[in-house]
Structure 1
């Protein structure tokens, strides 16, 4: 598969902190001498790689889907300030990569005359800030390609709601206007921008605003669920996949913030000694419950888990293609389930909401819930259960628990809300002389 960021002729290796801002490599053209910013746009796509492995681990191992075996990585399940010890493994690579993507996108937005490229850059900037906000809460905001190196006030963290309302939502609105609905593998599209906008509103708890955008994508022309669940995953299924709305392309030949190709799947299949048997027994029990209550065997189990239920095989490593799995950022099933959630939260009757789940459940070999689940609260739980099994190991679970306020209920422990967020990399706090502050509890 061709990877869109292979052409990196005009990279601006810039990070968020003061010590990293002044990093324009020699022999690369300066922004004011460029006329074609496609290389810079490709760099903005490329830098998303830095968030792939961290988000995969943060979303799954912090939740009740996966477990670490080895200290200090077991801290993901303890909810103390000791997560800061994993800065170099997860939080710093993600933080650096996303701010590099943002500043590359800023360069395109400021300087390119190609409206489509500007639309893609605004999508990528919004996606980057969305990942940062849901992971860290209040964050530093850069909206220019050349942040001042002397004015440290620009590093002050902005409240999450301000970032949503003043940056992410306007960027996605602009991207929707600039982009076409056609989905080309690895590129942003109008559907990707509208789907992400719906996800943003849902994360904010604004389901009235989320509903129309999610509805438009859920019924979008050219989008369709694959007939079989296993046809969604695997490197061989990625090109032209009607269910994948946007993914970050991964290649074993392209290094990321770690200095080697992204390998998020290794954490799930047990190839890393820190998690030899990563599947949380609670997820196995959830599949058991789905079998018992669904009128059949949930076919997603065999695609998601090994036969012994100890490792996750959703992104198989067979055929020598392990290093070529793209990271699915948004797919149709995710949007359908969010649309059902928005309808339910907006007081639509169960008879309207539950049929949306039928195609997913039929594909999974299960019966319809219509008529068996009636109350708003029970429909809410049914959708949450469906999201867990449908989207396991795709980077959603922890963020879903935080978004829906169900961390304590699902994890079975009382978790201080400070630890709903992850720690700001200490390197960023120190290099900014404390202008960038640490999250409470860390």
Structure 2
């Protein structure tokens, strides 16, 4: 994090973003106390989310039972032991740095901008960044200052994940909901419905299903008014050809463009899932094939898995560098809402929501009846619906089903990922490592 906190605002402002809405050419010598327009700083916060896309995709699917690595040391993703930190340079380090750079940008906007909408967007992005960090590492350092004191090492101390949720993520999303409307969804900006969706998801991850239901219901019931709806066909959601105003299912995505060089210089998520990286030329786990076998007639199958190539065609390799990374889409929210309803005792309502997703997939209504059966049905549906979108591992961890679904007993230390050793060394050990690594 030393590199993050000494990162100059001037370099933040030189970032070029992904489309015309994010274009910025600010002066090189601008400082936060001389700026009047913080558009460039806010755009930098959006830009840095790109650095999290592939690491989250790999952590979410290759750590779980959807995909696996072939070549050492990448096979450490499938080995639950102390050796995973060897993957720091390609995954954990770039992810960590990108998130704290995004946070530093948002802090500048929140602290210095007088534009309420910009502040709302910044708070959404800061909450999103910290949510990703907590999912991956658990306890993390918290910085809410635009110019944190570099001589105060206490700021590097990791804060309990529960405090990060209570003191940063949830308040930021509540503020974003109040500050934003839904007029900029088509322009790929943070919106009220995106903040509501993320807050509902956060509450699900915390096991607060009562609060989750309130916010997820607001999204599901308000989707049409916000011009959000499920695409008629599953194959209309993914790939560069399906991006833009016609895709109403995407609530928020991180924009990616081949014309913009981001800091993540390794193989991108579409290459990993498509089997184009030599570290895993046939990444498809046969366990995911079996899951689709148990769902005969599922229209998502051909979009998600290729049994000949043993890879996923979900993000087509044609125009791969133009694929946006989907952060939130309506189907994910509907399934989370179904889960919250079921956990709150409304199993009938949960089935109604679950069957919306099954109907589009060409499947009959679920035959589950009890709360336990519906709970399993929802998790099975999430796997098939969201495969290769970076959700699977984090779903297994939050539902305490890692061992059952992975078919082995895994030390809970390895539910989290290793903190980059470079950050530990840069802070003289103030930042500490997760147990087990």
State the TM-score, normalized to the length of structure 1: 0.92
| Aligned partner of 2:368 among 362, 369, 373 | 373
- In structure 2, the partner of 1:294 is none
Counterpart of 2:149 in 1: which secondary structure? coil
Inter-partner Cα distance in structure 1 for 2:285 and 2:187? 33
Deviation track 1:158-180 (CA, whole Å, cap 9, x = no partner) reads 00000000000000000000000
- In structure 2, the partner of 1:279 is 284
Stretches of structure 1 lacking an aligned partner (at least 5 in a row): 1-16, 292-296
Inter-partner Cα distance in structure 2 for 1:81 and 1:130? 24
Alignment of 1:292-331 (within 5 A): 297-308=297-308, 310-318=310-318, 321-331=319-329
Q: Does the 8 A contact of 1:284 with 1:309 survive in 2?
A: no
Inter-partner Cα distance in structure 2 for 1:404 and 1:361? 21
- In structure 2, the partner of 1:433 is 428
Alignment of 1:36-55 (within 5 A): 36-55=37-56
Counterpart of 2:83 in 1: which secondary structure? helix
Deviation track 1:220-259 (CA, whole Å, cap 9, x = no partner) reads 2221100000001111211122100000001112122224
How large is the Cα RMSD of the aligned pairs? 1.2
Q: Mean Cα displacement is larger for which, 305-314 or 37-46?
A: 305-314
Alignment of 1:127-138 (within 5 A): 127-138=128-139
- In structure 1, the partner of 2:259 is 253
Inter-partner Cα distance in structure 2 for 1:178 and 1:19? 32
- In structure 2, the partner of 1:7 is none
| Aligned partner of 1:409 among 391, 398, 404 | 404
Inter-partner Cα distance in structure 2 for 1:68 and 1:19? 30
Deviation track 1:13-33 (CA, whole Å, cap 9, x = no partner) reads xxxx23542232574311111
Inter-partner Cα distance in structure 2 for 1:28 and 1:310? 51
Inter-partner Cα distance in structure 2 for 1:150 and 1:204? 34
Alignment of 1:171-210 (within 5 A): 171-182=172-183, 183-210=185-212
Deviation track 1:109-156 (CA, whole Å, cap 9, x = no partner) reads 000011000000000000000000010000000001000010000110
Q: Mean Cα displacement is larger for which, 171-180 or 353-362?
A: 353-362
Q: Does the 8 A contact of 1:48 with 1:98 survive in 2?
A: yes
Stretches of structure 2 lacking an aligned partner (at least 5 in a row): 12-27
Q: Does the 8 A contact of 2:54 with 2:269 survive in 1?
A: yes
| Aligned partner of 1:364 among 347, 361, 364 | 361
State the TM-score, normalized to the length of structure 2: 0.93
Alignment of 1:36-435 (within 5 A): 36-182=37-183, 183-220=185-222, 221=225, 222-240=227-245, 241-259=247-265, 263-291=268-296, 297-308=297-308, 310-318=310-318, 321-349=319-347, 351-369=348-366, 372-435=367-430
Q: Does the 8 A contact of 1:65 with 1:283 survive in 2?
A: yes
Counterpart of 2:186 in 1: which secondary structure? coil
Q: Does the 8 A contact of 1:185 with 1:246 survive in 2?
A: no
